[in-house]
A = this chain, B = another copy of it.
Amino acid sequence: MTEKLSGFSRRDLLAMVGKVAGGAAMYQAMSSLGLAQESNYTGPIKLQGAPMGASVLILGAGIAGLVAALELRQAGYRVQVLEYNPVAGGRCWTLRGGDEYTELGGFRQQCGFDKGQYVNPGPWRIPYHHHAMLDYCKRLGVTLEPFVQINYNAYLHSSKAYQGKPQRFREVQSDYQGHIAELFAKCVRSEQLDAALTKEDLERLLESLKNWGALDGEYRYRKSGQSSSHRGYDVDDGGGLAPAGELSQPLEFAELLQSRLWTGIAAGQGYHLHPAIFQPVGGMDNIAQAFAREVGSLIRYNTRVFKIDQNDKGVTVNYTNRRDGSSGSAKADWCICTLPVSILSQLDLNVSAKLKSAIDALPYHASLKAGLQFKRRFWEEDERIYGGITYTDLPLSTIAYPNHGCNMGGKGVLLGAYMFGGNAYKYSAMDPAQRLQEIVAMGAQIHPQYPAEFENGITVGWHRVPWANGCFGAWTSQKRAQYYDDMCQMDGRIVLAGEHVSRIPAWQEGAALSALDVCERLHRRALAA
């Protein structure tokens, strides 16, 4: 900052800060704010001085493997990475036109999307508090854009309520809040409230309920200027002599409770989904590709590991080259294994009984995602839904609209299904064409334009992904108490990393934090060895 600031000096400014804020308040604010750290991630790790010639073999080039490769090479280790796929990323994956995907059982799908269209079959958003992922995006130059998590004009849908007609999120949220505010205000005003609040606080409570619940002057949630200013209008106001707007009629409370659409209000209120939340421009795998630009030369692609052995000198891994079927082996002083334990449990693995038990004990969640390309963005053009998510009780569960390229016309790819549990198994058991057919038919209950506008689609059922056999580790608190520490411990010269070795399962942040923790522990061990 130069001393002269558009006509006033730094000294003037500091004097003014003291004057306006008060010196004590200022000091308090400066110390209580600033670097409030909510994350275990405290900035880039700076490991230095790897022992001369020390080597690390990393299995898997997903987020955990890539983070470990980047940081350990930086620290001076000789790093090799073995990866099953022909590209880096693992579950950090994006499907685009021309991509091929063959699942367990042999079904082969070719992605028919137009140029510029994509779907992320795995992770698809990055919350603001995923500090490690955001930091790697920044360091590696991955451009982010807002992910619209909460779209007030998207739908909440129940096939069993409102004759199957989807309701707008804004209507459900406003009406749920409004009815609660009205009934609660009635309790408060009838002096029935059992709460340690003074008369003045009760007045404030009533004022707040009126404001927040959009109640009218009589503390009622009715068709009114107040309620429509929250939930929206039947017809919006016009200009000039065009008609004035028309108020809308709130949903009746009992029917709203019966519909269970209120479960959808809470969906965006979970800490992991709070806006601001982001997606990489152009697809999640841009993160993997950015890592690969740094450490790609360390990665041996198309490599299927089948045996992991160790002794007190080092680790030996045997693999098959998936292209030519030839075998090979790699050796190093240490091994970081980031393979999903759904895969690892099937390999010939020389680790302690404790670690083996932990590996065998963790099941994986099933999940299925579908990307559907449509001829035009009818959700924008006809229904004014620009990005965001519709939730439904149909097996497809979720329709997520593209958050990029909004209002520009042209084609679009929806996330047409995001299934878990039984539905994921059921639909993955179908052949890919039948899956699409069922998903399009279901989606037509929400968007009747589906049949006429659908062009092509692709589905990924995660327990049929050959290199994953599942979506993410299904920890329970019981399993975590019994097995988690064992899964984390270094076992001789081998240590595991990945989302399954973190307390943030299913998220890339968990994979990154796990890898960073492992890098630090391995480095300490190597220095002590």
Q: Is the CB of B437 within 8 A of A239?
A: no
Residue in B236, B409, B432, B454 whose beta carbon sits within 8 Å of that of A40 in the complex: B236
Which stretch, A81-89, A142-150, A312-320, touches the partner chain B? A142-150
Q: Which of A91-99, A263-271, A296-304, A359-367 contacts B (4 or more CB under 8 A)?
A: A263-271
User: Please, which residues of chain B bring their CB within 8 A of the CB of A271?
Assistant: 170, 228-233
Given the contacts A40-B236, A153-B274, A204-B257, A407 and B138 also touching, CB distance less than 8 Å: yes
The 0/1 profile, CB within 8 Å of B marked 1, for residues 349-384 of chain A is: 000000000000000000000000001000000111
CA distance A153 to B510 in the complex (A): 21
A275–B208 Cα distance when bound, in Å, is 23
Q: Which of chain B's residues have a CB closer than 8 A to the CB of A474?
A: none
Q: Measured between alpha carbons, how far is A457 from B174 in the docked complex, in Å?
A: 39
Q: Are B384 and A131 in contact (CB under 8 A)?
A: yes
Q: Complex Cα distance A261/B81, Å?
A: 52
Copies of this chain in the oligomer: 2
Q: Which residues from chain B contact A104 at a C-beta distance below 8 Å?
A: none
A405–B157 Cα distance when bound, in Å, is 35
Check: A326 CB closer than 8 A to any chain B CB.
Answer: no
Closest chain B residue to A162, Cβ basis: B32
Chain B positions within 8 Å of A529 at CB level: none
In the assembled complex, how far is the CB of residue A386 from the closest CB belonging to chain B, in whole angstroms? 4
Interface residues of A in 236-293 (CB under 8 A from B): 236-245, 253-254, 257-258, 260, 262-263, 265-266, 269-271, 274-276, 278
Is the Cβ of B521 less than 8 Å from the Cβ of A445? no
Instruction: Assess whether A478 is interfacial by the CB under 8 Å rule.
Output: no
Contact of A441 among B13, B385, B453 (CB under 8 A): B13
**In the complex where A32-B165, A440-B13 touch, is A208 in contact with B262 (Cβ < 8 A)?**
yes
CB distance from A76 to the nearest CB of B (A): 21
A121 within 8 A of B: no
User: B38 near A241 (CB under 8 angstroms)?
Assistant: no
B146 near A387 with CB under 8 A, answer yes
Interface locus among A46-54, A179-187, A461-469: A179-187
A33:B447 contact, CB within 8 angstroms: yes
Contact (A237, B504) CB under 8 Å given A6-B457, A212-B265, A243-B40? yes
Besides A40-B235, A239-B512, 14 other A-B contacts (C-beta < 8 A): A19-B441, A25-B164, A29-B445, A38-B236, A40-B236, A146-B146, A150-B150, A153-B274, A196-B254, A197-B253, A197-B257, A204-B260, A232-B271, A239-B517
Contacts of A100 in B (CB 8 A): none
Nearest CB of chain B from residue A274's CB, rounded to whole Å? 4
Kindly supply a per-residue 1/0 record for chain A positions 14-37, scoring 1 wherever the CB is within 8 Å of any chain B CB and 0 otherwise: 101101110001101110111111
User: Quick check: A12 and B437 within 8 Å, CB to CB?
Assistant: yes
Q: Which residues of B contact A105 (CB under 8 A)?
A: none
Contact across chains for A233 and B511 when beta carbons are under 8 A apart = no
